[in-house]
Structure 1
Amino acid sequence: MRRILVAAAAVVAAFSALLPTAGAQNLANCSTASQNRYVLDVMRDIYYWDTELPATVNTSGYASPEALLEAVRYRPLDEHFSYIGARATEEAFYSDSQFVGFGFANSYDGQGLRILQIFPDSPAAETGMQRGDRITTINGQSVVTLVAAGTIGTALGPSQEGYSIRFRYERADGSATDASMAKRAVTIPTVSVLNVYEVDGRKIGYLFFRNFVTPSRQALDDAFNALRDVGATELVLDLRYNGGGLVSIAQHLASLIGGTRTEGQVFAEYFHNSRNAFRNEVTRFEHKDNTLSLQRLVVVTTGGSASASELVINALRPFIPVTTVGETTYGKPVGQYGITFCDKVLYPVAFTLRNALGQGDYFSGIAADCPAGDDADHQLGDPAEASLAEALTVVRTGRCSAPPVSAAPQRRRESTKLDTLPPSRGLEQLIGAH
């Protein structure tokens, strides 16, 4: 028997339970051999694609449980979803919205690392770096060269306090700054931006929401109370770079948005493998006193919008019109159980989630109804920023500024410029930052 955390679409959900599995009695100690056997036993029991696992696995042939997981995962659907993380690191993220890093989110644009967001009170913030800047060198080497050689991840270093780099970043005006910074604990503000705009006499709320973790509940309540107090009747929910988080927070956010229209309706239905069908259940939208009871919703997305972000969109669509603006989302309609062992947590994909109409399986992502760029030349929350400007156009006119180029959904990574960077997984994928 062991304590578990329940995760949805690459992230931990708010359930606490004891999950007995075949592997529960097989962790004799924390030797590599014992951990390998344990991970395989858990996968054979709870893994959603259990029938796709290799029939025979020599657990002694792998140098670590991480290596074993990498070998047995079901491809192509589970390229990066199932993972093993460090227990202390996982708990810091989900409990306190913290990670060890420099404090910036970025993309790669062919010239360097384009800064998309800076977290306050972080090493990156202290250097004066801001959205729109571009890191061009790290420890004397050009970022272009590091990316081409596949060593950019090594240059940015491990999740370890004190790891430092020297770097140069450039501004749009061509000025350059040389600085250094060392990794430390960084707190991600879950509600990073909250604004209100007046459009044609209506007050439009704008909420940039960064992750679905425990502190998000209070942050969302405070944000929705503020929006209600100023009389906001519309909402632009910005989920770009939001890799997911707790299912309970997704349920909370969707309930705040849907209000009386969704209260008591099906939020999501869980489906497990045949051995665990008894775990299948229906969760419902909740009653909230501070709801905006919106009649429609506009959501900004990028290729980094995953998991619980996609769950909110999919869960609301049977009940209110939801228009997505920006880029196709990542594509992760499955979830995990977080199972602690030794000093680690195993997150095997264990279930899929479908909405009230039985819709799910969006492994190619949720296509943007109104395509728009992630405009790093403008700050987040600036109504002139391309994606927000398009969202406000949708609010004002009820339609996109231009017809979508194609109605066909894109593959989840075609809409992002991160393809040339090492693939992120696990908590790195969730945080979407360094």
Structure 2
Amino acid sequence: MKASLLTRTLFFVILSGLLWSCDQDDDKNPVVDPDPDISSEEKINNWIYEVMDEVYYWRQNMRTPIAVDSDPTDYFESLLYQPGEVDRFSIIYPDYQELINSLSGISLDAGYEFKLFTPDNKLVYAEVIYVKKNSPASSTDLKRGDVIEAINGTILTIDNYRNLLGQTATTHTITPLRYNEESQIYEPLNDISLTPVQLSEDPNFLDTVYTINNQKIGYVVYNFFAPGTSSDETKYDREMDAIFEKMKAENVNNLILDLRYNGGGYVSSAVNLASLIGPVTSSDIFSKTKYNSLVMSAIPSLSNVQTAFLTKSQNLGNTLTGNRLYVLTSDGTASASELIINGLKPYMDVFLIGDVTYGKNVGSIAIEDEENPENNYGLLPIVTQSFNSLDQSDYSTGFVPNITVLEGTERLRALGDVKEIMLRTAIEEITGIPSSARVIKLDRTEIANTLEGKIRTGTMIESAIIK
């Protein structure tokens, strides 16, 4: 007799967290129709139900599905428990490989992210928040803080901006403006033509060390959690290790971790980063993971999953003044980013500067159908809930910052500029000395940003080997 789908599925979870393979089971699940003549939609939907009925975290609250020959996306969404309220996170994606690529920072991309603002509920403009390394945009003069007023020659408005944003998926032209510090006005730049390419984005965006009033302040901008690439599976984690090794050599005694654009990613990289920061040892628990009751009863080893910190020679540990970590946050700081905050809180003072975080204490595993080559869909359902060593998991509405700072209330300065609003606030808190920077407050409303559309935003991808 075959092992159950649940046991075989969990057994073959690979360490990187990139794949959780699911196939059909001959002995269980009456939903599966053995008739080879059933439609492709029925085959896919039978597989969806089989997976969800075993591993979905809210399995006992799963809804009655719609017709089995429905569109797979509609079918999947019909199963979710209170979608948009309790389950705001489970997704189905039409191409599993594209899903996996996106979670590792690989996508068709021109290489720039931006926020959309409207000053008057009529016109809309896009403000560049960062330009990615080794991207088409990085080979131009485009910079953070530049304002885009038109795409393909059409001025952005409240009525057309969604359509114009869709045009950035292919070759497009943007019309940028740049702020002149002396004249204090935005001046036009030459139009820039950009063609998206298959870009592998490095999450380690920026790191530097400042010496200010005898304080050694390390600053790290980390934009998503991914251990590496398909050709080098630990590349990005090793880069982060090297960043901390350098900061330790420079005797850093304060650390600012910038997660304002970090929507989540792989738990393994969160463990790696937390192990570089906290005053911890490998006997200390970073997080605890709970599955649904069926999973925990079928596989006893999953009934008490505890993830310990790693031993890292680059660890800053007790060198941080006041045993405090400063974290820069936004409403897009989510999932694995929040896991860092929650996991370190029992061991140190995690001081938040920015906005209330997203609020996601549950995790996913990417699942594909290996038995049906015609099924390209990938599932990313919620399968776990995470707790820290004190069994705390009470951040479903987000972590509230110690100091509230909203990035959009000022013109954007370069990341790493000590006058930039969020970094400036953290440095003021560390040194106790107010900045002398002269700033102009802006009255504008943010209506969207390009990070919201990333598949990886709001994800916490579990990694495990089940034996």
Give me the TM-score of the superposition, normalised by structure 2.
Answer: 0.78
SS at match of 1:353: strand
Pairwise CA distance, 1:423: 5.9
Secondary structure in structure 1 of the residue aligned to 2:264? coil
1:219 — aligned with what?
Answer: 239
Structure-2 change in CA distance of 1:242 and 1:22 (3 Å): farther
Residue 336 of structure 1 aligns with an amino acid whose one-letter code is S
Structure 2 contact 18–100 (Cα < 8 Å) conserved? no
The residue number in structure 2 matching 1:172 is 179
Query: Cα distance, 1:122 vs. partner?
Result: 1.3
- Please name the residue that 1:251 is paired with: 271
The residue aligned with 2:287 is: 268
Q: 1:18 to 1:244 in 2, by over 3 A?
A: same
- Partners of 2:171 and 2:194 within 8 A in 1: yes
Show the counterpart of 1:195: 208
1:366 aligns with 2:407: no
Instruction: Judge conservation of contact 2:451–2:457 (CA < 8 Å) in 1.
Output: no
Q: Which of residues 16, 31, 50 is equivalent to 1:41?
A: 50
| Separation of aligned partners in 1, 2:332 and 2:421 | 17
Go from structure 1 to structure 2 and tell me whether the alpha carbon gap of 1:20 and 1:200 turns closer, same or farther (over 3 Å shift): farther
Whether 2:347 is the aligned partner of 1:319: answer: yes
Cα distance in structure 1, aligned partners of 2:22 and 2:346: 32
Match of 2:313 among 285, 289, 304: 289
- Indicate conservation of the 8 Å contact 1:5/1:15, yes or no: no
Q: Report the CA distance between 1:89 and its aligned residue.
A: 2.3
- Opposite residue 99 of structure 1, the aligned amino acid is S
**TM-score of the two chains, using structure 1 as the length reference:** 0.83
* Structure 1 residue 145, shift from structure 2 partner: 3.6
Structure with larger Rg: 2
Task: Say if 1:285 and 1:85 are closer, same or farther in 2 by CA, change over 3 A.
Answer: farther
Structure 2 distance, partners of 1:172, 1:430, is: 35
CA-based RMSD: 3.3
CA distance in 2, matches of 1:116, 1:27: 50
Please say if 1:134 is aligned against 2:142: no
In structure 2, the CA distance between the partners of 1:209 and 1:427, relative to structure 1 (3 Å rule), is closer
1:391 counterpart (407, 410, 426): 426
Taking the aligned partners of 1:22 and 1:288, their CA distance within structure 2 comes to 42
Contact 1:152 1:421 (8 Å CA) reproduced: no
Distance 1:228 1:181 in 2: 40
Q: Which runs of 5+ in 2 are unaligned?
A: 1-7, 119-123, 181-185, 229-235, 370-374, 435-444, 461-467
Tell me by how many angstroms 1:27 deviates: 9.7
| Separation (CA, whole Å) in 2 of partners of 1:70 and 1:424 | 18
Equivalent position amino acid for 1:31 in 2: S
Give the letter aligned to residue 366 of structure 1: F
Counterpart CA distance in 1 for 2:341 and 2:49 is 34
Residues 313 and 322 in structure 1, CA contact (< 8 A), matched pair in contact too: yes
Query: Kindly tell me: are residues 429 and 332 of structure 1, through their superposed partners in 2, closer, same or farther at Cα, counting changes over 3 Å?
Result: closer
After TM superposition, give the deviation of residue 120 of structure 1 in Å.
1.8
Q: Could you list the per-position Cα deviations for residues 381-423 of structure 1 after superposition, in whole angstroms to 9, with x for gaps in the alignment?
A: 1111110011112222499xxxxxxxxxxxxxxxx93458896
Cα offset, 1:82, TM superposition? 2.9
Secondary structure in structure 1 of the residue aligned to 2:456: helix
C-alpha distance in structure 1 between counterparts of 2:125 and 2:293, whole Å:
47
Residue 6 of structure 1: how far off its partner (Å): 6.9
Secondary structure at the aligned position of 2:150 is classed as: strand
Instruction: Tell me if the contact between 1:107 and 1:114 (Cα under 8 Å) persists in the aligned partners.
Output: yes
Residue matched to 2:260: 240
Unaligned runs of 5+ in 1: 158-162, 400-415
